[in-house]
Amino acid sequence: MTLSQARMPVTFLSALLSFCALVCAASCDAPGATEPGASSIQRAEKSPSGAKPTGPEQKEALSPAAKPQVLIIGDSMMQFGIGPALKSDLTKKGYRVVYFVKKSTGLTWTHFFDWQHKSEELLAEGDFDSIVVMLGSNDGRWLKYQGKRLEYGPDVAQWWQQYSLRFDEFFGRLCNETTRVYWIGMPPMKPEGYHSKTRLFNAFYEQKIRGSGCGKYIATDYLSKEKPLRWSDGIHVSNSGGRTVAKRIQEATGL
Letter for the amino acid at 39?
S
User: Based on C-alpha coordinates, what's the Rg of the chain?
Assistant: 18
For range 57-80, the mean pLDDT: 77
Question: CA geometry: angle at 129 spanning 127 and 41, to 5°?
Answer: 95
Give the separation between CA 243 and CA 239, rounded to whole angstroms.
6
Residue 171 has pLDDT above 70, yes or no: yes
Q: Are residues 81 and 239 in contact, defined by beta-carbon separation less than 8 angstroms?
A: yes
In the structure, what pLDDT confidence band is assigned to residue 51 with cuts at 50, 70 and 90?
very low
Which residue did the predictor score with more confidence, 39 or 67? 67
Query: Quick one: pLDDT at residue 26?
Result: 43
Question: Who's near 41: CB < 8 A, 6+ residues apart?
Answer: 168, 171, 172, 175, 208, 212, 213, 214
Question: CA geometry: angle at 149 spanning 194 and 17, to 5°?
Answer: 50
Among 59-68, 159-168, 231-240, the least confident range: 59-68
pLDDT digits over 173-212, tens only?
999 999 999 999 999 999 999 999 999 999 999 999 998 9
Query: Quick one: pLDDT at residue 65?
Result: 54
Residues in the chain: 255
Residues 189-212, buried b or exposed e (16+ Cβ, 10 A)? bebeebbbbbbbbbbbbbebbeeb
Region for 224 from its dihedrals, namely left if φ exceeds 0, alpha if ψ lies in -120 to 50, beta otherwise: beta
Residue 166 has pLDDT above 50, yes or no: yes
- Other beta carbons less than 10 A from residue 251's beta carbon: 10
Residue 101 has pLDDT above 80, yes or no: yes
Residue 61 has pLDDT above 50, yes or no: no
> Whole-model pTM?
0.79
Which CATH number describes the domain made up of 64-253? 3.40.50.1110
Give the separation between CA 6 and CA 200, rounded to whole angstroms.
14
Query: Quick one: pLDDT at residue 170?
Result: 99
First to last CA, the chain: 30
Query: Quick one: pLDDT at residue 67?
Result: 76
Average predicted confidence (pLDDT) for the chain: 84
Query: Quick one: pLDDT at residue 41?
Result: 64
pLDDT digits over 221-238, tens only?
999 999 999 999 999 999
Residue 79 has pLDDT above 50, yes or no: yes
Tell how strand 216-218 and strand 69-74 pair up: unpaired
Q: Where are the domains of the chain?
A: 64-253
Sheet with strand 128-134: strands edge to edge: 96-101, 69-74, 128-134, 181-184, 216-218
Give the separation between CA 62 and CA 70, rounded to whole angstroms.
13
pLDDT digits over 118-138, tens only?
999 999 999 999 999 999 999
Q: Is 67 exposed, middle or buried (0-12, 13-18, 19+ CB in 10 A)?
A: middle
The SS3 of residue 74 is: strand
Give the separation between CA 14 and CA 109, rounded to whole angstroms.
27
